[in-house]
Amino acid sequence: MRRTWLGIALILLLCHSKRSLQAAEYLRAASGGFTTAIHAVLWAASEEKIFRKYGLDVEYLALNTGRLGMQMLLADDIQVLFSTGVTVVSTNLQKGDLAIIGGGLNFFPTKLVTRPEIKKAADLKGKTLAVGGFGAANHMALLVALEKLGVNPKEVSIIQVAGGAAQLTALARGAIFGLMFNEPQATIAVKKFGMHSLIDLMESKAPFPQNCFIVKRGYLESNRDKVTSFMKAVIEAIYLLKKDRPLAIRLIKKYVRVNDEEAAIGYDYYLAKHSEGILDLPDRRGLQFVIEETAKTNPKAVGQTPETLRLLEPSVLDELKKSGFVEKLKY
């Protein structure tokens, strides 16, 4: 008799588990370029099963580039993308209908790292520099860095080298003489490879949509509850990581493949100080800057504004803030 009841209990447990899995709403989310520690909010929400807590079955993808992420978003292969706001501008200029529903790092978090022989700005003239992609966020960062250093972009050669590992190898071998690096990659290049940090754009405090949460407006309209639950999980992950530094360090080491010291640099530089930037939409001035830079090579951007391109959708964050959800997680 005891065995019979145990068998029944096991069947009921399995059925309940199956129903729970079926009840969870499925979606795919991705990071477009994931080597910055701010992406740990997604790693934590996924690995600590916070998404599941809010009724979501989220498949997370760590992608090398924002452009690949944007292609997947437009093809409906993913539903939420965490990547640079630059791609939202370029896509909506092509009649896309994307919306930024959350922020991230709302500034340039990059340093211009150069070979040891580049000791001053004038040494850059005639040299080859690299970006991950023309028109991408780090390309715009490089142009800003050159402007602040008083170097005309026409005085250097700029090529594309995709991927942090490939970029560092090219720099170490002398194939290129400089590029924009985030932390902890900038510190790794300086300490391990003897490179030189020529300028830190973070010190300029210039607004820039380095990364943000992006969805299709049509998807948001038909799946608002799902998107809201997604952002709830992300926000909970923010405060979990701020309280649990060892967890954050472990996740950074796993995804970025760095040591404890380097992971700590990423944590302190981004998560500890700036992770709550996710709770604010990108600064309008930063988006306008992207539009104006884009207009130099794309006539469609001339005269456009963040409003005409419908870049921002504040309603999801506004709803969560007004409900008291964010305040409850702080304590």
pLDDT on residue 34: 87
Least confident segment among 84-93, 156-165, 307-316: 156-165
- pLDDT tens profile 178-207: 999 999 989 999 999 999 999 999 888 889
Architecture category of domain 111-204 in CATH: 3-Layer(aba) Sandwich (3.40)
Q: Which residue, chain included where needed, has tokens 């959708």?
A: 313
Residue 4 has pLDDT above 50, yes or no: no
Residue 19 has pLDDT above 80, yes or no: no
pLDDT on residue 14: 39
What lies within 8 Å, CB to CB, of 35 at 6+ separation is 164, 182, 185, 256
If phi over 0 gives left and psi between -120 and 50 gives alpha, with beta otherwise, what is residue 303? left
Tell me the C-alpha distance between 154 and 75, whole Å.
36
Tell me the C-alpha distance between 194 and 33, whole Å.
25
Tell me the C-alpha distance between 215 and 29, whole Å.
10
What lies within 8 Å, CB to CB, of 124 at 6+ separation is 114, 118, 146, 149, 151, 155, 156, 177, 178, 198
Instruction: Tell the burial category of 175 from Cβ atoms under 10 Å away from its Cβ (0-12, 13-18, 19+).
Output: middle
In this prediction, residues 149-177 reach a mean pLDDT of 93
Which of these, 273, 270, 264, 258, lies nearest to 246 by C-alpha position? 264
Cβ of 45: how many Cβ atoms within 10 Å?
28
pLDDT on residue 23: 64
Give the distance, in angstroms, between the CA of residue 209 and the centroid of all CA atoms in the same chain. Answer: 10
Tell me the C-alpha distance between 172 and 28, whole Å.
36
Cite the residue boundaries of each domain of the chain with CATH code 3.40.190.10.
24-107+208-330, 111-204
Size of the chain, expressed as the number of residues it contains? 331
What lies within 8 Å, CB to CB, of 106 at 6+ separation is 207, 208, 209, 210, 277, 280, 282, 283, 286
pLDDT on residue 11: 38
**Is residue 215 helix, strand or coil?**
strand
Contact by Cβ (8 Å): 228, 319: yes
CATH topology of domain 24-107+208-330: D-Maltodextrin-Binding Protein; domain 2 (3.40.190)
Percent of the chain scoring above 70 in pLDDT: 93
Which of these, 197, 195, 188, lies nearest to 264 by C-alpha position? 188
